[in-house]
Amino acid sequence: MNGTTFSDKVAVVTGGGTGLGKEMSLKLAKEGAKVVIASRNIDNLKETAHLIESAGGSVLAIPTDVRDHAKVEELMKATVEKFGRIDILINNAAGNFLIPSEKLTPNGWNAVVRIVLDGTWFCSSVAGKQMIEQGGGCILNIIATYAWTGAPGVVHSASAKAGVLAMTRTLAAEWGRYGIRVNALAPGAMVTEGASKNLKFDSEEAQKLISKNVPLGRLASVDEIAELAVFLCSPKASYITGDVMTADGGAWLKSKSFLDMLGG
C-alpha cells in the first residue's frame, strides 16, 4: 500500500479475481481501500486476495454468482458486517462469446444477459440502498463501446451493455440527490485471459488485425484502463456522474464487426 486516496473507503469489485477486475482491485487497495472481490471461481479470488494482502492491503474474497439476487444480498451484507460500509461498487463481472445472431440460443442469450444486465442491477440496487443510508457512494459500470455502436457477433453482450449504459444514466439522475455518482467506463479491446479467448483475439495475428482498426494503433493495456477506473471512483471525479468514459484509442470511430475482422 502506498497511497491514501481511498483511506477508510470500502470497494466491492465484481469479477475482481481476474483480468481488469483484478487490476482495479489491486490499484484500489494500493490507494488504501478495503476491497471486497466477488466472483464464482474461488481459486482466482484467493490468488488475487493473496496478492493484495502481500502488498499490505485489506481484502475479503466472497464467492458470488451475480445472477443470484440472494447471493448478491449476502455479498453486500458480509461487506458491511466486515468493513462497516460500501463506498464504491464496480460492476465488472461479465460473460461473452462470439456467435452469429441467427445461431444464438435462448440459453446463450440468458447466459450473458443475466450476468451483465441482471447482475449489474442486482449489485447496484442492493449496494445502492446501503449507499443511500450512508449518504453517498460511487458506482462504476464497465461496459464496451458496442453499447452504442452495436457489434455483429455479440448481440447478447451489446444489448446487455446498452442496458447497463441506460441504467448508468438513469441511476445517476435518480440518485444524485443521495450523493451517489454513477458512471460507466468503456474500454477498447484488452488482452485478458477471459475476453481475448472468448472473443478469439488471443493470437498475435488477431491482435494485429484489431490494432489496424484502432486510430492509436494498438490494444488497450489493463493497467491504463484500471487507472481510469480508479480516477472515476476518486474524489478527483467528484463532479462527474451519468457519464461514460471511452478509452479505446478511438476504435469505435472506425468500428467494424468482430466477425468481419476475424472471419468468424
Q: Please select the residue that binds ligand NAP; options are 21, 137, 163, 249, rule is CB under 6 A.
A: 21
Q: Please select the residue that binds ligand NAP; options are 25, 64, 130, 246, rule is CB under 6 A.
A: 64
- Is 57 a residue that touches ligand NAP (CB under 6 A)? no
Please report the DSSP string for 113-149 in residue order: HIIIIIHHHHHHHHHHHHHHHHT-EEEEEE--THHHH
- Is 151 a residue that touches ligand NAP (CB under 6 A)? no
Q: Please select the residue that binds ligand NAP; options are 17, 32, 137, 249, rule is CB under 6 A.
A: 17
Q: Using N-to-C axis directions, what is the helix angle for 119-134 and 155-175, rounded to 10°?
A: 10
Given 146, 175, 201, 258, which residue is catalytic? 146
| Closest listed residue to residue 130, CA positions, set 185, 72, 71 | 72
Has 239 been annotated as catalytic? Answer: no
Contact 244, 165 (CB under 8 A): yes
Q: Is the dihedral of CA 190, 195, 198, 199 positive or negative?
A: negative
d(CA 32, CA 9) in angstroms, rounded, equals 8
Tell me the per-residue interface mask from 179 to 218 with ligand NAP, x by CB under 6 A, - otherwise: --------x-xx-xxxx-----------------------
Q: Please select the residue that binds ligand NAP; options are 10, 11, 13, 19, rule is CB under 6 A.
A: 19
Residues marked active site are found at 146
Contact residues for ligand NAP, defined by CB under 6 A:
14-15, 17-21, 39-41, 44, 64-67, 92-95, 115, 119, 142, 144, 187, 189-190, 192-195
